[in-house]
A = this chain, B = another copy of it.
Amino acid sequence: MTPEARAQKIKVLIFDVDGVLTDGQIFVLPGSDGHGIETKGFSAHDGLGISLARLDGIQIGIVTKRQSQTVALRARDLKLEFVYQGQSHKMDAICDILAKANITLDELAYVGDDIIDLPVMRVCGLAIASANARPQVKAAAHYVTPNPGGHGAGRDAVDFILNARGTLEKTIEAYLAADNAAARAADIGTGGM
């Protein structure tokens, strides 16, 4: 089956966090209680991509081994349907998601970058690796994103799926519709093209 045919079945899209929604760098700051405070850089392009996927009827989630408040805050910002932190066995979370979303593995896409993602990538409908993924992960992927994690890999995954479904352009215009309406209402001249 081609990656595009796989993409057409997807109902839920799950991301690993470090190295997929970030570039893999973890910054640790000393907290007042002696514990470390983690921060990491999320991509603005991924945020908009998640809005597009949702507009096209796809549910979105994250499953990550680490546990940090920065990820919880970003997940809330993105209004993610599924948020699983502290998962050393990612298939447990995936099984939970399959049940909650009432879908089969064929309808799940997963974006990963390291070997801990392999068990999910080996069985899910569409396995995507970010450009910075470890070699074993790229080898197991149906599709490798052009951009690395933290710089649009998540958005690339969304674009690939929507493009395969033939809905990318339509979804972008739907996203912009309210804004175009505002422009027309203002009845302003344009600089042409």
A: which residues have CB within 8 A of B?
1, 6, 18-19, 23-30, 35-37, 39-45, 47-48, 66, 69-70, 73-74, 77, 88-92, 95, 98, 104-106, 108, 113-116, 118-119, 122-126, 132, 134, 136, 150-152, 155, 159, 172, 175-176, 178-180, 182-183, 186, 188-193
Q: Is the interface of A mostly helix, strand, loop or mixed?
A: mixed
A70 to B129, CA, bound (A): 30
State the Cβ distance, A45 to closest chain B Cβ, in Å.
6
Q: A151 with B23: in contact, given A91-B183, A188-B98 (CB under 8 Å)? A: yes
How often does this chain occur in the complex, in copies? 4
Partner of A151, one of B45, B132, B159, B178: B132
A189 to B9, CA, bound (A): 15
Closest to A181 in B: B89
A71 to B63, CA, bound (A): 26
- A134 contacts B152, C-beta separation under 8 Å: yes
Partner of A73, one of B28, B115, B159: B28
Closest to A190 in B: B123
- B18 contacts A44, C-beta separation under 8 Å: yes
Q: A39 with B27: in contact, given A48-B114, A91-B186, A183-B119 (CB under 8 Å)? A: yes
State the Cβ distance, A78 to closest chain B Cβ, in Å.
11
14 chain-A/chain-B pairs, Cβ below 8 angstroms: A25-B43, A26-B74, A27-B40, A44-B114, A88-B178, A91-B183, A92-B186, A105-B188, A106-B189, A115-B172, A119-B182, A119-B183, A126-B191, A134-B155
